[in-house]
Amino acid sequence: MPDNLTLANATLVLPSETLTGSLYIEKGEIVDIDTGTAVPKGATDCGGDILAPGLIELHTDNLERHLRPRPRVNWPHNAAIVAHDAELASTGITTVFDAIRVGSIEGKGATGWQRYARTMADEILAMRAEGALKISHHLHLRAEICSETLLEELAGFGPDDRVGILSLMDHTPGQRQFADLSQYETYMRGKHGLSQEDFDTHVEARVALGARVGPDHEIAAVEAAQRFGAVLASHDDTTAEHVRVSAGHGIQLAEFPTTLEAAKACHQHGIAVMMGAPNLIRGGSHSGNVAAETLAETGLLDILSSDYVPAALLYAAVKLGAIWDDLARAMATVTSAPAKAAGLVDRGVIAPGMRADLVRFARVGEVPVLHGVWSNGIRVA
């Protein structure tokens, strides 16, 4: 168990306010909060630094980046998991739902997807059981509707895997994230070096596959989430009709809605809206979809995800705090709001009885500079 710890003279980010005070931690749990600048004997003087709950990441592609650092380069999995874990800890993330794609298109060259989900999940769970990881890891299955092997791969998982989130992904060209085929063409040809003929053949094949398997796969994925006891999420909702269908499935979390129309519909149906931190930092979507800042300004942004840049999560929360002129509200989008969406009741806020998952940082302009990260009371960065 971790040693007892007192962090004093910090700017504490509480659920609805910030104030100067101290935290008392015993056996990995917050046991008391005090106010004021006093630094008790043996305490760590935070010098006014901001002390917030550890960040909670619900959807990140970062593990895949470590698994395949270059095209056609496959890195040893356990080494990739450890490196991914350490990188997240170094950015203030203390809880992560590792996003693993379920559903493959095999033997299709550069644009195919090989199956890896069951093996990857086993390796993450084994590393977690060994105590090899710094932060708290959970499973997020990305069910790719437009695929050949989804049903078979889903059958390999069960309630004992404790899948936390299952998201419905449909990357059929011409809809959702890539409703604009010109944007999709730029992405695919740039990433895979496809000729025009190869791209056209790829689109034709994927559209035909989606039409053939999409409806049955969507139903099966919803049933799988119920069987696993997982939170069900949608992905790239674009229209009010997409959201109506999502609500009918019992979806509670919308990942990256692509339009203002879809985001408004999500709130009308009581579905939390999650947007990418890189979108907020860059001032817009790299796919030409709705800007996260637009949703923030209209009160439609509930949760941030680092998506493909782990360090973006804290940076975006600080930037959002400036947009809203309310740091506590902004930090909730990366702490208490994702905890609530994922059904985690023991973290995400600074309060007695909660896990001592904490991040300490200062601000240089709008950029956060980390000075410490604790997971369950143990310093990990």
pLDDT of residue 7: 98
**pLDDT of 109 above 80:** no
pLDDT of residue 352: 98
**pLDDT of 245 above 90:** yes
Count structural domains, the chain.
1
At 99, the pLDDT band (50, 70, 90 cuts) reads: very high
Beta strands at 358-364 and 303-305: parallel, antiparallel or unpaired: unpaired
**What is the mean predicted confidence (pLDDT) over 40-60?**
97
In angstroms, the CA 206 to CA 216 distance is 16
**What is the mean predicted confidence (pLDDT) over 71-83?**
92
Q: DSSP assignment of 101-167, as one string?
A: EE--BTT-GGG-B---HHHHHHHHHHHHHTT--SSEEEEEEEEESSSSSHHHHHTT--GGG-EEEEE
pLDDT of residue 289: 87
- How many C-alpha atoms does 47 have within 13 Å on its Cβ side? 6
pLDDT in tens, 345-377: 999 999 999 999 999 999 998 899 999 999 999
At 53, the pLDDT band (50, 70, 90 cuts) reads: very high
160 found inside a domain: yes
337 found inside a domain: yes
Length of the chain equals 381
178 found inside a domain: yes
24 found inside a domain: no
Percent of the chain with pLDDT over 90: 78
User: Residue 362: what are its φ and ψ, rounded to 5°?
Assistant: -115, 170
pLDDT in tens, 268-280: 999 999 999 999 9
39 found inside a domain: no
User: Residue 179: what are its φ and ψ, rounded to 5°?
Assistant: -60, -30
Work out the mean pLDDT of the chain and round it to a whole number: 91
Going by C-alpha positions, the residue among 201, 216, 194, 99 that lies closest to residue 146 is 216
In angstroms, the CA 58 to CA 338 distance is 7
Residue 123 domain boundaries: 56-343
In angstroms, the CA 14 to CA 277 distance is 22
**What is the mean predicted confidence (pLDDT) over 193-215?**
73
Q: Which residues on adjacent β-strands are paired with residue 52?
A: 359
pLDDT in tens, 306-348: 999 999 999 999 999 999 999 999 999 999 999 999 999 999 9
| CATH number of the domain residue 77 falls in | 3.20.20.140
In angstroms, the CA 146 to CA 360 distance is 42
Burial annotation 80-94 (CB, 10 A radius, 16+ → b, else e) = bbbbbbebbbebbbb
DSSP category for residue 307: B
**What is the mean predicted confidence (pLDDT) over 45-58?**
98
25 found inside a domain: no
* 103-107: Cβ within 8 A, 24+ apart: 103/143, 103/144, 103/145, 103/146, 103/147, 103/148, 103/149, 103/150, 103/153, 103/169, 103/217, 104/144, 104/147, 104/148, 104/149, 104/153, 105/147, 105/148, 105/149, 105/209, 106/148, 106/149
Rg (CA), the chain: 21
**pLDDT of 102 above 60:** yes
At 178, the pLDDT band (50, 70, 90 cuts) reads: low
352 found inside a domain: no
**What is the mean predicted confidence (pLDDT) over 87-106?**
93
**What is the mean predicted confidence (pLDDT) over 63-76?**
89
At 254, the pLDDT band (50, 70, 90 cuts) reads: very high
pTM (two decimals): 0.91
At 106, the pLDDT band (50, 70, 90 cuts) reads: low
373 found inside a domain: no
pLDDT of residue 40: 94
pLDDT of residue 205: 72
